[in-house]
């Protein structure tokens, strides 16, 4: 991970993130810095970017409102090469005990060249219980000027004793208009495409950039999914078996697929109630009209509820084929 990859998001911070930035800078000015922080927010929303900015500000030798960007400390952080900034990420879906053990050892060592050491733990909800417990001890007896920043998508997944010892900072999503303007200009898109992408990004700039870079992928998948939905909806039972393979082949894309289906169902609902302004898939309006006629409101609600659970079921290791079969049966039923 290079700083340059995440630094580009600086120019489109949401109001919430601007406020977080101001708050963190003020805490440095007031010398009111906690030992532990939790940055909570969606994947790709900019938590790591903000944590690195905070670390840079804390370590800067000439901090005044902003990090100076020219001192040796700022330069080392910009090249992700500062001996007192440690970034720990999960591997194989869990943060290894060894990584935390290394952290403990280094916590009790003096900083190399600053008066402070900073630890950023990315995806901290992936810490094993053992790692989390070891880590908790560090938070209970903070040695010297150590600041630990835990990044997580959901702080309910962290053990409560850790949460209670940290300051929680919540990252809210960026509004759609900001994302639309940003990607429209950056990728030279027409308004319709920018709107579509912004909606699929769910308020996360990183997602929007990713989709915009591979826009044909998601637009192509959207068309596939809508057509599958249409075929199953007209009670083509054969299609169910045929599409099992499609879903098996795209297992790693299931989040995106359920998202596309949910947005489609939402559009069907809006079409049904003639709220055309809110429709996203405006280029498929004929099909929307057809589905709006054939789907009852209760059925739409039922399907959306099922799709919301798919994500959860996937995480709790419910049999994938079963999830998909039930979903397809529900659409056709
Ligand atoms: Zn500096």
**What average pLDDT does range 66-94 have in this prediction?**
87
pLDDT at 171 over 80: yes
- The number of distinct structural domains making up the chain is 2
Q: How far is the CA of 58 from the centre of ligand 1 (A)?
A: 9
The structure's pTM equals: 0.68
pLDDT value at residue 46: 87
Average pLDDT over residues 88-113: 72
Centre of ligand 1 from the C-alpha of residue 100, in Å: 28
User: What would the mean pLDDT of 178-184 be, rounded to a whole number?
Assistant: 91
166 & 220 share domain: no
Asked whether residue 163 falls in the same domain as residue 68, the answer is: yes
Instruction: Give the end of a domain, one of 101, 135, 170.
Output: 170
Does residue 233 have a pLDDT over 70?
yes
Do 151 and 25 lie in one domain? The reply is yes
Residue 301: which residues within 8 A CB-CB, separation 6 or more? none
CATH number of the structural domain spanning residue 259: 1.20.272.10
How far does the centroid of ligand 1 lie from the alpha carbon of residue 173, in Å? 29
Check whether 1 has a pLDDT greater than 60.
no
Give domain status of residue 121, yes or no: yes
**Of the candidate ranges 28-32, 40-44, 97-101, 268-272, the one whose mean pLDDT is the lowest:** 97-101
Hey, which residues does 148 pair with through a beta bridge?
Answer: 36, 119
Q: What is the pLDDT of residue 25?
A: 95
Counting beta carbons within 10 angstroms of the beta carbon of residue 54, is it exposed (0 to 12), middle (13 to 18) or buried (19 or more)?
buried
Tell me, yes or no, whether 166 and 218 share the same domain.
no
> With 50 as the cut, is the pLDDT of residue 310 above it?
yes
Residues 154 and 265 in one domain: no
The CATH number linked to 103 is 3.40.50.300
- Rounded distance between C-alpha atoms, residue 319 and residue 333, angstroms: 21
Distance (angstroms) between ligand 1 centre and the Cα of 152 equals 27
Residues 37, 165 within the same domain: yes
Distance 83 CA to ligand 1 centre (A): 15
What spacing in Å lies between the alpha carbon of 80 and ligand 1's midpoint?
Answer: 14
- What percentage of the chain exceeds 70 in pLDDT? 91
CA–centroid distance, 21 to ligand 1, in Å, is 17
Residue 235 domain boundaries? 214-332
Mean pLDDT, rounded, for 131-145: 70
Same domain, 142 and 224: no
Q: Select from 170, 195, 229 the last residue of a domain.
A: 170
> What pLDDT was estimated at residue 308?
85
């Amino acid at each position: 991970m290079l700083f340059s990859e995440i630094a580009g998001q600086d120019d489109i911070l949401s109001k919430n993130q601007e406020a977080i930035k101001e708050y963190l800078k003020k805490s440095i000015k007031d010398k009111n810095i906690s030992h532990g922080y939790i940055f909570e927010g969606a994947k790709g929303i900019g938590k790591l970017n903000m944590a690195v900015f905070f670390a840079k500000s804390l370590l800067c030798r000439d901090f005044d409102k902003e990090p100076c960007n020219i001192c040796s400390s700022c330069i080392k952080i910009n090249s992700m090469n500062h001996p007192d900034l440690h970034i720990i990420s999960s591997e194989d879906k869990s943060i290894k005990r060894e990584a935390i053990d290394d952290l403990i050892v280094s916590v009790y060592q003096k900083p190399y060249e600053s008066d402070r050491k900073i630890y950023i733990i990315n995806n901290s909800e992936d810490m094993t219980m053992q790692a989390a417990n070891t880590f908790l001890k560090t938070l209970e007896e903070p040695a010297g000027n150590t600041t630990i920043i835990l990044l997580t998508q959901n702080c309910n997944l962290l053990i409560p004793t850790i949460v209670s010892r940290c300051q929680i900072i919540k990252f809210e999503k960026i509004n759609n208009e900001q994302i639309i303007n940003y990607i429209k200009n950056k990728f030279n898109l027409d308004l319709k495409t920018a709107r579509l992408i912004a909606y699929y990004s769910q308020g996360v700039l990183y997602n929007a950039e990713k989709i915009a870079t591979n826009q044909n992928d998601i637009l192509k998948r959207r068309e596939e999914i809508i057509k599958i939905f249409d075929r199953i909806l007209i009670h083509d039972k054969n299609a169910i078996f045929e599409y099992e393979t499609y879903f098996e082949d795209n297992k790693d894309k299931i989040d995106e697929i359920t998202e596309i289906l949910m947005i489609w169902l939402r559009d069907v609902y809006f079409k049904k109630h003639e709220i055309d302004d809110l429709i996203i898939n405006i280029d498929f309006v004929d099909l929307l009209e057809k589905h709006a006629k054939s789907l009852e409101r209760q059925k739409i609600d039922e399907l959306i509820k099922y799709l919301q659970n798919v994500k959860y079921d996937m995480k709790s290791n419910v049999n994938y084929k079963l999830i998909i079969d039930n979903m397809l049966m529900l659409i056709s039923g």
